[in-house]
Amino acid sequence: MEPFIRRGGVEEETVHAFFRRRFGEEAARILADAMVAGSSGGWPQQLEVDSFQPLLRQWEQQHGSVLAGLLRQPAVRGAPFSGPGTLADGMDSLPHALAADLGDRFHGGSPVEALEPADEGWKVHYRGAYASNTIEVDGIILALPAPACAALLAPVSDRSRAILESIPYASLSLVQIGYDARKWRASARGFGFLAPRSEKLGVLGAIWSSSLFPFRAPPQHGLATVFLAGKGGPYGDPYSDKILVERSLDAMRKVHGPGLEVELALVGRAPAAIPQATRGHRRRIDRLQHDLCSLPALALSGSYLDGISLESCVRSGQDAVVGLLDRWKSSPEAN
């Protein structure tokens, strides 16, 4: 029935309200919850649909239907692979490679402690061998989480600080489970599963890491990655690694059946990992960007601006660079 639902909605509509309006209460309770919790650790009743996944609104407005918009999506061209992809040595190899490419221009061991406007640029105070370590630059891009940006901007813009501090973050925990694939009857094919809260599994979901990326496990073995909400998340804070592992194994066995013999269980925690685009997020970001125009050349880049996907983060970096270049081109000194 979704294609026959009229366009509608309200400003700052939540993901839950959008799904309920387009697909019904059950879809909002199950599908929206699983999608939001599994990808961001958040709540669909709190997140703004236009910030969390703007394509949903675009498909509704342009095609009159979310399903019609999804079916009309053009195939991705030029990608070096089809389906999910990752880097062989993990995603953190991307910033390491960028740092290596910069060579001696990269100063990873010199954390910035303060920013000070200076003429048409900035003085950057950083920690180093001497108390007076300072450099002067024409412009700055802050590619940091929102709380770190807030701390640096607090002395120069209290409004920017307040907006950045108002952006909540969800914590995440994960358990890597290694197993002997020959001894488990379950077929570890496909992507994995997302778990709506109504299922009471105690986890956000799991992916078959070695099914998607075979190099992640030795032959005849498998690797699954289970995601759980951390402190402040939908399921509270698991108090120990043992509890995390037990919850993960219990969920896997409920979904895929008994017989899972664990050979490896590694726990990772990511506190304040994922920014939450709650209602009013886009309006707050617009105010933040407007406020930054009163400062010397400075731009922001990060997952808290326009989305948490890798594509969105890369785009925010590109937008930051273009914004600074355009600002310099339009300055009186450039003319």
- pLDDT tens string, the chain, 335 residues long: the values are 888 788 888 889 999 999 999 999 999 999 999 999 888 989 999 999 999 988 899 999 988 888 988 888 877 676 666 667 777 888 889 889 999 999 988 888 889 999 999 988 999 999 875 667 898 999 999 999 999 999 999 999 999 999 999 999 999 999 999 988 888 777 667 788 899 988 888 899 999 888 888 888 888 888 999 999 876 545 545 568 898 999 999 998 888 887 788 899 999 998 898 999 999 999 999 999 999 999 999 999 999 999 998 889 999 999 999 999 998 887 766 55
What are the distances in angstroms from CA 57 to CA 22, 64, 247? 11, 10, 36
DSSP state of 73: P
Residue 83: per-residue pLDDT: 66
Pick the CATH number of 169-275 from 3.40.50.200, 2.60.40.10, 3.90.660.20, 1.20.1250.20: 3.90.660.20
Q: Quote the tokens at residue 68.
A: 């019609």
Q: Which amino acid is at 161?
A: R
Conformation bin of residue 302: beta by default, left when phi > 0, alpha when psi is -120 to 50: left
DSSP state of 55: H
- Looking at the domain 2-71, which fold is it? protoporphyrinogen ix oxidase, domain 3 (1.10.3110)
- Taking the mean position of all CA atoms in its chain, how far away is CA 220? 32
- Structure token pair of residue 107: 């100063």
Give CA separation, 201 vs 158, 195, 233, 332, in Å. Answer: 43, 7, 14, 60
CB 190 within 8 A of CB 208: yes
Extents of the domains making up the chain: 2-71, 111-167+278-334, 169-275
Find the distance separating the first CA and the last CA of the chain, reported in whole Å. 58
pLDDT at 238: 53
Residue 190 CA, chain-centre distance (Å), reads: 22
Q: The domain at 111-167+278-334 falls in which architecture?
A: 3-Layer(bba) Sandwich (3.50)
Give the predicted TM-score (pTM) of the model. 0.86
What was the pLDDT predicted at 257?
A: 80
Cβ-in-10-Å burial (0-12, 13-18, 19+) of 30 comes to middle
What's the pLDDT at 86? 79
